[in-house]
Amino acid sequence: MVNVTINNKTIQVPEDYTILQAAETLNIKIPTLCHLDLHNIKMVNKVASCRACVVEVEGRRNLAPSCSTPVFEGMKIKTDSLRAIRARRTMVELLISDHPKDCLVCLKNGECELQSISHDLGVKQIRFEGEMSTYPVDMTSKAIYRDSSKCILCRRCETMCNDVQTVHALSGLDRGFGTVVGPAFHAPLNETVCTFCGQCVAVCPTGALVEVDNVPKVWRALEEKGKTVVVQVAPAVRVAIGELFGMEPGTVVTGKLVSALKNLGFDYVFDTDFAADLTIMEEAHEMIERIKENKNLPILTSCCPAWVKFFEHQFPDLLDIPSTCKSPHEMFGAVTKHYFAQKMGIPEKDMIVVSVMPCVAKKYEAERPELEFGGVKDVDIVITTRELGRMIKEAGINFNMLDDEEYDNPLGESTGAAVIFGTTGGVIEAALRTAAEMITGNELESVDFHAVRGLAGLREAQVQVGDLTLNIAVAHGLGNARTLLESIRRGESKYHAIEIMACPGGCIGGGGQPYHHGNLEILRQRAAGIYAIDENFTIRKSHENPAIQELYAKFLGEPGGELSHKLLHTSYFE
């Protein structure tokens, strides 16, 4: 421990602390912009590039960036001197002098950290005018819109992509005034190994990295004459969208969400959870077959599109182990257009399927050409939780005052097993609930597999199913996934099944969720909301969903059957 004095108060702090950490223990707020410390998920961005956190240190001529300056015994710091405050304001002014000032029409308006620090520091004018760095906007990706003119070189995206996701799609390019962060050789994003996980979007402080805005497409679809517009909502949206309307993270707003979607004019409001139950039927069947034949193990879950793109790029030698199941929202699209449409007498071409997802990679997934049946795309438009929030606000709907409404049927019926898909560990737990009963033929005493839950990046569990001991692993965050995949490649894996989600926390931490700035407490609250919904369900196993049983009886036949394979399964590409 060392003694430091901050603003005339002396405290003891660990010797590896920075000035910023020491100030936090005294509840002294020093403004920061580029700094982001998410050490729980191995992301610590300490590049000290913005200099918005400078403070005075006695005996030093220059101001010190508090985020990267270590403390020392006897250090005397002033965080609130006029010199420090003026310098911070000047730093932010300089950043804004090279920033497009189109805040009123920027997608990040109201949520931009540059905007709020400028407000908090009282920046009232920009005294520096001159050359601006301008770059072409990269619109090549279906998921992510990249406008480097708005980049403040904080390098958060790069740290996230390299250290947490281990994708290395972004790095600093060129030098001096021309410095920019982007893919090597200035390649367009869709020609790189980027997985479109959107975690860079989640930590970008400005509008440099945002989701591709599909809101106008949805408004147009809702207006189009002769179209039946069906919307489905992913599990993780219902415990997060309330945050956009001032509610606590984890508040369950399923009923209000359905009501809002009906108010917006969707013809049918259905639940991706229905298709999550369907996925379990197919995936548990596939898992059991592979275990029986002892081949292509461990089976890997395949519902996360960023994870799918990651293994296609990075592990092309292992393409025979992921489950062949399409993701739930794609299965939903296929079933809606080829079962529900027929049932209702609606021509497939007149049906538009919209997915509301916590994820930006789902936008890219929906455009993968193989995710179709008979020339008809499974899903037409994907919007994120944030985009739906914007639509609700644009329509003037008072979300907080809405009455609860129920999903439409039959594709709105689901179980507790389906909703837990939304948090890390949930897919494998749902699969275990069904696989265990399929294998033993006996009813489980408890459906709660606590061993696979939690927020540790890598988890493993042994689950006894009859005479069989199943070795299970769970990873979230692509760096953790890489660790597991490399052990499989080396032939060291002992697992039967592995669940992988690209985003820390799983879908609750998706790149399209309300900005959570990597705050694990917010993810914990959202996960608690998910498990609370599961506990309140009477039916908590996918194979007991009556609407799923009817779908197999009247249309699909058997899990893993011929029609299921055509409609609900897919293949992967190097």
> Between β-strands 458-465 and 468-476, what pairing exists: parallel, antiparallel or unpaired?
antiparallel
Instruction: Decide if residue 234 touches ligand HC0 (CB under 6 A).
Output: yes
Q: For CA atoms 158, 163, 169, 173, give the dihedral sign.
A: positive
Element (H, E) at 203: helix 199-203
Cα separation, 421 vs 234, whole angstroms: 9
Sequence-separated (6 or more) residues with CB below 8 Å from residue 175: none
Closest by CA position to 233, among listed 476, 527, 507, 569: 507
Which of 48-56, 191-199, 464-472, 541-549 is the region at the interface with ligand SF4 (rule: CB under 6 A)? 191-199
323 flagged as catalytic: yes
CB 311 within 8 A of CB 319: yes
Of the residues 283, 387, 429, 437, only one is catalytic, namely: 283
DSSP reduced 3-state for 398? coil
Residue placing its CB nearer to ligand HC0 in the complex, 477 or 506 = 506
Count interface residues toward ligand HC0 (CB under 6 A). Answer: 20
Instruction: Decide if residue 559 touches ligand HC0 (CB under 6 A).
Output: no
Residue placing its CB nearer to ligand HC0 in the complex, 34 or 275 = 275
Of the residues 106, 303, 304, 503, only one is catalytic, namely: 303
Instruction: Decide if residue 509 touches ligand HC0 (CB under 6 A).
Output: no
Closest by CA position to 102, among listed 112, 90, 88: 112
365 flagged as catalytic: yes
Look at residue 479 and give the partner it binds from ligand HC0, ligand SF4, none, a contact being a CB closer than 5 to 8 Å depending on partner kind: none
Which of 98-106, 159-167, 255-263, 318-326 is the region at the interface with ligand SF4 (rule: CB under 6 A)? 159-167
Residues 318-337 that bind ligand HC0 (CB under 6 A): 327-329
Instruction: Decide if residue 167 touches ligand SF4 (CB under 6 A).
Output: yes
Which of 194-202, 262-270, 446-454, 536-544 is the region at the interface with ligand SF4 (rule: CB under 6 A)? 194-202
**Where would I find the H helices in 233-271?**
254-264
Instruction: Determine the distance from the C-alpha atom of residue 130 to the mean position of all C-alpha atoms in its chain, rounded to a whole number.
Output: 38
Q: Which of 161, 420, 431, 447 binds ligand SF4 (CB under 6 A)?
A: 161
Give the largest CA-CA distance in the chain.
81
Residue placing its CB nearer to ligand HC0 in the complex, 63 or 275 = 275
Residue placing its CB nearer to ligand SF4 in the complex, 118 or 195 = 195
Length of the chain: 574
Edge-to-edge, what's the strand order for the sheet holding 54-57?
Answer: 9-13, 2-6, 75-78, 54-57, 64-65
Tokens of 260: 């809002």
**3-state SS track over 122-185:** CCCCCCCCCCCCCCCCECCCCCEEECHHHCCCCCHHHHHHHHHCCCCCCEEECCHHHCEEECHH
Instruction: Decide if residue 364 touches ligand HC0 (CB under 6 A).
Output: no
Contact code string over 107-146 relative to ligand SF4, x by CB under 6 A = -------------------------------------x--
Which of 137-145, 230-238, 453-461, 563-571 is the region at the interface with ligand HC0 (rule: CB under 6 A)? 230-238
CB of 107 to ligand HC0, least distance (A): 20
Residues 240-279 that bind ligand HC0 (CB under 6 A): 272, 276
CB of 304 to ligand HC0, least distance (A): 5
Instruction: Decide if residue 197 touches ligand SF4 (CB under 6 A).
Output: yes
Q: Which of 421, 449, 515, 531 binds ligand HC0 (CB under 6 A)?
A: 421
Q: How far is CA 494 from CA 254, 484, 490, 497, in A?
A: 39, 11, 11, 9
Cα separation, 27 vs 5, whole angstroms: 14
Q: How far is CA 496 from CA 43, 293, 295, 302, in A?
A: 30, 12, 10, 15
Look at residue 427 and give the partner it binds from ligand HC0, ligand SF4, none, a contact being a CB closer than 5 to 8 Å depending on partner kind: ligand HC0
Of the residues 259, 302, 323, 542, only one is catalytic, namely: 323
Of the residues 256, 337, 362, 377, only one is catalytic, namely: 362
CB 148 within 8 A of CB 182: yes
DSSP reduced 3-state for 242? helix
Instruction: Decide if residue 381 touches ligand SF4 (CB under 6 A).
Output: no
Residues 473-492 that bind ligand SF4 (CB under 6 A): none
Residue placing its CB nearer to ligand SF4 in the complex, 198 or 249 = 198
Instruction: Decide if residue 200 touches ligand SF4 (CB under 6 A).
Output: yes
CB 297 within 8 A of CB 291: yes
507 flagged as catalytic: yes
Tokens of 346: 């609606």
Q: Peptide bond before 410: cis, by omega within 30 degrees of 0?
A: yes
211 flagged as catalytic: no
Q: How many helices (H) and strands (E) does the chain have?
A: 19, 21
Q: Which of 230, 507, 556, 567 binds ligand HC0 (CB under 6 A)?
A: 507
CB of 203 to ligand SF4, least distance (A): 9
Which of 24-32, 242-250, 258-266, 421-429 is the region at the interface with ligand HC0 (rule: CB under 6 A)? 421-429
Cα separation, 454 vs 445, whole angstroms: 22
499 flagged as catalytic: no
Instruction: Decide if residue 384 touches ligand SF4 (CB under 6 A).
Output: no
CB of 86 to ligand HC0, least distance (A): 45
377, burial (CB in 10 Å: exposed 0-12, middle 13-18, buried 19+): buried
Of the residues 191, 370, 394, 521, only one is catalytic, namely: 370
Q: Which of 338, 362, 459, 543 binds ligand HC0 (CB under 6 A)?
A: 362
Of the residues 365, 413, 429, 499, only one is catalytic, namely: 365
**3-state SS track over 97-131:** HCCCCCHHHCCCCCCCHHHHHHHHCCCCCCCCCCC
Contact code string over 342-361 relative to ligand HC0, x by CB under 6 A = ---------------xxx--
73 flagged as catalytic: no
DSSP reduced 3-state for 82? helix
Active site residues: 283, 286, 303, 323, 362, 365, 370, 507
The contact set with ligand HC0 (CB under 6 A) reads: 234-236, 272, 276, 303-304, 327-329, 357-359, 362, 421-422, 427, 506-507, 510
The contact set with ligand SF4 (CB under 6 A) reads: 144, 160-161, 165, 167, 169-170, 194-200
